[in-house]
Amino acid sequence: MRREKLAKLQAEGRDPFAIVTWKQTHHSKEIKENFEALENKDVSVAGRVMSFRDIGKAAFIDLQDRDGRIQVYLNAEGLGDEAYAHIKTWDVGDIIGVEGYVFKTRRGEMSIHAEKMVLLTKALEPLPEKFHGLKDPEIRYRRRYLDLVMNPQVMDTFRKRTLIIKAIREYLDSREYIEVDTPILSTIASGAAARPFVTKSNALNLQLYLRIATELYLKRCIVGGMERVYDMGKNFRNEGIDSSHNPEFTMIELYQAYADYNDMMELCENMIAFAAEKATGSAKVMYQGTQIDFTPPWRRLTMTDSVKEYGGIDFSAVKTDAEAQALAKEKGLEHELKKKLKDCTKGDILNAAFEKYAEEHLIQPTFILDYPTDISPLTKQKPGDPTMTERFEAFVYAREIANAYSELNDPIVQLDRFLQQEREKELGDDEAYTLDEDFVSSLEVGMPPTGGMGIGIDRIIMFLTDAYSIRDVILFPTMKPNN
RNA sequence: GGGCUGCUAGCUCAGUAGGUAGAGCAACGCCCUUUUAAGGCGUGGGUCACAAGUUCGAAUCUUGUGCAGCUCACCA
């Protein structure tokens, strides 16, 4: 039916697809916000026909543009008999241009009294139903364009996404950080515990990996003397998909020379509070019915203290791996451990106890400090305690949103840590860190003491837009094909 | 990967003692000059996700497959 209408239009020499441009002087929202100034003035708008109420010798169209909707009133007096009859053949979903003057209907609806209307694009597929809209999550994600047309909240979320990302850039740029692009394709995917995607260069006849982190390249930039750098972009991890994981996701990593993890904590809480205010107008936001307050300073708690507080286990009294193993057995922690109990260090067991007892309680923004050395191969040890590192993770609503540390810059220790990881890999941990020899040699050139941090941008956006699933903040989430 | 749930008209959803498939909106036709989930009268529209099985007969029961959502595990 719509195809027949299109064919007729083309036969009549008014093919909408032949039109190249339309002069848009106003958007819906600015007309509504400046109604008094614009009343009886001419405007030109464009957008999609969302509903068409034909009442005979007059009709009303709800026109939707980037910012919302505005009603268009049309009749034969304003447009001429022939044009009016023609416009009545248009459909919901069509994209049109309208010129006319601004006025208010009897019911008080701010509207445009049409004087000229042009069909700019014919929609061959009808839109979902106007009242119930589009709900099916599969169609919403697969055909996001329909979701954007039908669900204004979705448009709002993705506009906020842009505001948040801009705010983060603004925050760092104003503090003399340099934004760089590090490689997405490389022969070694390291810098995080994750399996990479594998691809191949035809020209080089070479197996390449998609990056799982930007860390090792950014630290090379610090070695080179950039002092403050960041890379905000996609990482790729070949892992499962759920409501907080997408195989490709946006991450920022930033590094600051002559700083440590305490400086990173301050940067983290201030930057996220800044982004929250820019995007939502407040550092306090509602997330899934719970108020989250990002106002600095956030709570600071060591991992050991968190396990003591929430699990009633005092690891500061545990001296050896054997004692820790006995404790793990007593508390039934074997289940939480990846390795066999006898291969576990005190650090592995502390981390397992943290995940079991403490993590779920971390609703308001909280920094968990001082991670075991065994699970932190790129991190500097704490002065006076080689089993622990100067590392923190930030938690909100029991989810990790940031990971930061005082960077390990001793090339000899770093090589040892990588070799330990290689051994883990041989023991069957296919997510252990891969040795990057060139990175180690960059440390031999000399990296100043440096603080670094990674923040999951999608997760920050989830909290600031009240999104339950990461798919609601990624325009085109990864999906299996369905035919 | 495990468990649970869903898949019926373009959209939102009904539809089991197994018996020729329904509503609202959308579409099509007619009426209506300030409506707004406009209204009134009329009409058309389906490989019930896919495949096999049970049965005289399957949207409905059984098995398998696909996709999706939730959830647990894994993973930061």
pLDDT tens sequence across A472-482: 999 999 999 87
Cβ atoms < 10 Å from Cβ of A158: 17
pLDDT at A129: 85
H or E stretch covering A386: strand A385-396
Q: Between A326 and A266, where is the model more confident?
A: A266
Say how far apart CA A30 and CA A333 lie, in whole Å.
60
pLDDT tens sequence across A119-151: 999 998 889 988 888 999 999 999 999 999 999
CB A130 within 8 A of CB A422: no
Mean pLDDT of A187-196: 92
Distance A471 CA to B16 C1' (A): 36
Distance A21 CA to B9 C1' (A): 37
The bases of strand B with some atom under 7 A from any protein CB are 1, 6, 10-13, 24-28, 31-39, 66-76
From A66, A288, A296, A287, select the one nearest A171 (Cα to Cα). Answer: A296
Q: If you compute the radius of gyration of chain A from its CA atoms, what whole number of angstroms results?
A: 29
Say how far apart CA A106 and CA A103 lie, in whole Å.
10
DSSP state of A368: E
Distance A92 CA to B34 C1' (A): 20
Using the predicted structure, report yes or no on whether residue A339 has a pLDDT greater than 80. Answer: no
N residues, chain A? 483
From A190, A195, A211, select the one nearest A442 (Cα to Cα). Answer: A190
Which residue has its C-alpha nearest to nucleotide B39's C1'? A55
The pTM (predicted TM-score) of the whole model is: 0.93
Place of tokens 């305490």: A262
Using the predicted structure, report yes or no on whether residue A460 has a pLDDT greater than 70. Answer: yes
Question: Which of the four pLDDT bands, split at 50, 70 and 90, describes residue A483?
Answer: low
From A124, A149, A243, A239, select the one nearest A192 (Cα to Cα). Answer: A239
Using the predicted structure, report yes or no on whether residue A333 has a pLDDT greater than 80. Answer: no
Sign of CA dihedral A39, A40, A46, A49: positive
Say how far apart CA A134 and CA A55 lie, in whole Å.
27
Structure tokens at A23: 């002069």
Say how far apart CA A431 and CA A61 lie, in whole Å.
57
pLDDT tens sequence across A390-447: 999 999 999 999 999 999 999 999 999 999 999 888 877 778 899 999 999 999 999 9
Distance A111 CA to B35 C1' (A): 12
Say how far apart CA A108 and CA A57 lie, in whole Å.
20
CA A248-A396-A461 angle, 5° bins = 45
